[in-house]
A and B are shown apart, each in its own frame.
Chain A
Amino acid sequence: MSKKVKKEKSMIIQKEMIASLFKELSTAKETGKKVVYTFVPGNISELIRAFDMLPVYPEINALQSGMRKKSRDFIRDAEKIGHSEDVCTYVKCDVGMMINGNIGPTGEKIPDPDLLLLSYTGCFTFMKWFETLERLYPGVPVALLHTPYQEAQKITPEMTEYMVKQLKEEVIPKMEKVSGKKYDEEKLKKILVNTNKVEEYMVKIFETTKNKPSPIDAYFAGVYYIGPINIGFRGTEEAVHYYEELYKEILERVEKGLGPITPEGEMKEEKFRLVVEGPPNWTHFREFWKIFYDMGAVIVASSYTKVGGVYDNGFRVNPEKPLESLAKYCMNCYTNLNLEQRVDLLSDCITNYDADGFLVNSIKSCNSFSAGQLMIMQQLERKLEIPVGFVESDLVDPRYFSYSNIKNRLESFFQMLEQRKLILGN
């Protein structure tokens, strides 16, 4: 493993994009830009941008607090004011951050919301989260966009119609009021042209893991790749530029036969190819990742990178049908798929990316992912006869990350994969 890590151009672009967004946010009150709090799954930031407003994602704040080792104290502070130990730690981390001044990752204060856009896709906790925020920011209007679940493995015309009506009669009027601007459908269409391009790139980028070695890690590095599209750059020129550059770099790696870049440089030997289900742990992200790359394990696909949108099955926004597209996009996010669809999607990933095994990282406080995961695992094991592994951690609560426990379990899992390889003779 080479220890020298050279920053790729795409990394620099991403860093600049994030810095500029937070800068813009920190000066929003002076510049008069309105701020909308919303969520990653069902993230209709194109609409927010169409009104020249800026999005803020409480989940992203929480995960960044986790990475910056601040979440422990934030969670403790939220528990002190009555939040239960048993609930989603993203919510508690966000509440804790807020009562501690809402300082963002760049050290600047994140402005208070002018609108709470509760577009809650695939998780009920989002709804509870905003009920909490609504009380922390009294008087801030709430626009609720209810995304129906794909319970019958499909999006029906009624579901789309219901969402479009909500967009037209609930969300857009509130955005008009808050922003003081009229809804401009042509502007939204133009933004969606970029989204469409970005979605194409996303698919191409994550498909490069079909190569051997895989040029990228679709989980640990994947979470960085989905960063721009998830934190408010959907439909922006910057995003198109970023993904274009990223894709170019990855293709170069493919041409050179290079493996993924890790925090300690390039991974030299690809021993195991895995598909991972569930979000990562943020408080010990590097340590967690290291266990994998030290063992030569690369993640060739992960469900988590689909949390802000699933494009594998051909869905792309259609700029000519802007509101319908936003509705369908929301309904297509990973946790809005029913369990059968999730099993099928993961099964396709395992087959298409020629994975050796399937691993679940079960998150203690995330029912949206965790409930049913054991059954998904059983189904895949039965259907594909591949080794399955299971580890547990939490998103941002460091109390639930047991390094030795996770390492032991992963080592046994890798041994199992090794043995299977020997038996299969490859």
Chain B
Amino acid sequence: MESLKDIIKRCEEISFDLNFTRAKEWKSQDDSRVIVGHMPIYFPREIIHAVGGLCVGILGGGDKKQIIKGDAYYQSYICHMPRSIIEMVLDGHFEGFDGFIFPSICDVIRNLSGMFLLVGKGKFIKYLDYPQNFKSHIGGEFYQKELQHVLNQVYKLNNVELTQERLNNSIQLFNKNRELIKKIYDIRQQTPWRLTAADVYHIVRAGYMIPVEEHNLILENVVQHIQEDIGDNLDKIRVLVIGAFCEQPPIGLIKTIEMAGCYIVEDDFLLGSRWIQKDIENANSEDGLLNTLSEAYLNHSTFSSSIYDVDNPKEARLLKLMKERKVDGIIFAAPSFCDPALLDHPILQKACDDNNVRYISFLFSENTGQFKVIKEQVGTFSDSIKLWE
């Protein structure tokens, strides 16, 4: 078995390969294969997988992409991620991609879909309107039509039809993927010293770049390794980090938090990979092939800034999650100028205040390079919690 160190090294390379080498290589092996890029947060990758496609996550350039042209497309008061994505478009990083999916999470992503249209990128652009109505015959039906629209676009490119068998195979693979990621989080909750949060990040992010079959093998190996009693338990508090579900925190930031006296045992960095909280049931043609995916979205989505929580208040869900993960405090870390994350924070923080949950908050940008202030802030936070106990 590959050593944990080697797996992590491989994942580090894959997860930040802004040229999407593995995906392009995979596509080159068969003419009917397509690559579909999707922006955060969530997209049911199962459907692309089932029709011979590979869904690749587009998560911005992070601190790996220098912005030269992107600033001419965005004012300074708009978050950083779309400008690095545009920079990547202009520099040809997405050559070979067939389509792009823009989940409806905010106005910036929405308008970015229009920018892709205007620059004529991809053979199809789909702004995917996730329903805010959670009734099967209203929002569910609409959602299925949205997904069917994506499938129609892919069909035009490769003539591969969605069948029950193919879809169920994909559903099983992604169920497995979510289960393995959950296992890693569960093990880390008990023994966070066995793998750093940055390592987890790289391992999970690699899954946004390669076929799910390959990612599942990686995850299985990781799980095996971390079931062993490895690493040293350090005197750190356990925290939950929230707010970074779209523009991703730089790795330096994740490392800083852990170096400053915390174990990150829960986060929303790559939330899409854990969005569906339960196994998705197999599809059957009587109910419509897309029905179980739709029901999973309507009934088993996690809470998020992009969903109106009319009957399921997010603060209660955050507190529940916090209890489940047995964390000592919460770190609110949101990208600058991110309306969805930042408008949630007063609501969530009030719940923390009301329930004596300790928290700190700060802003970041995907290319933040200086962490001194954050390190001090987190260090003080960690010390104060340790003293308190």
Contacts and interface: CB of A to CB of B under 8 A. Distances in A.
B326 interface: no
Interface in B307-359: 308-310, 334, 336-340, 342-347, 349-350
Interface stretch (A145-153, A199-207, A297-305): A145-153
Contacts of B305: 128
A149 B125 CA distance: 14
B118 A129 contact: no
Contacts, number: 151
A158 B138 CA distance: 11
Nearest to A164: B138
Given A131-B308, A142-B310, A125 B339 contact: yes
Interface string A148-189: 110100000010001001100110000000000000000000
B104 interface: yes
A86 B349 CA distance: 17
A367 B339 contact: yes
Given A128-B339, A158-B142, A162-B142, A339 B107 contact: no
Given A86-B336, A124-B339, A370-B78, A148 B142 contact: yes
Contact of B117 (A86, A128, A165, A340): A340
B111 interface: yes
Contacts of A373: 75
Contacts of B9: none
Interface string A78-96: 0001111011100100000
A132 B347 CA distance: 7
A379 interface: yes
Contact of B342 (A84, A127, A158, A374): A84
Nearest to A123: B107
A339 B86 CA distance: 15
Contacts of A88: 339, 343
B310 A144 contact: yes
B115 A375 contact: yes
B277 interface: no
Contact of B145 (A87, A122, A135, A158): A158
A338 interface: yes
B2 to A, nearest CB: 43
B131 A374 contact: no
B138 A338 contact: no
A364 B278 CA distance: 40
A128 B344 contact: yes
Interface of B: 72-75, 77-78, 82, 104-108, 110-115, 117-118, 125-127, 129, 131-133, 135, 137-139, 141-142, 145, 305-306, 308-310, 334, 336-340, 342-347, 349-350, 363
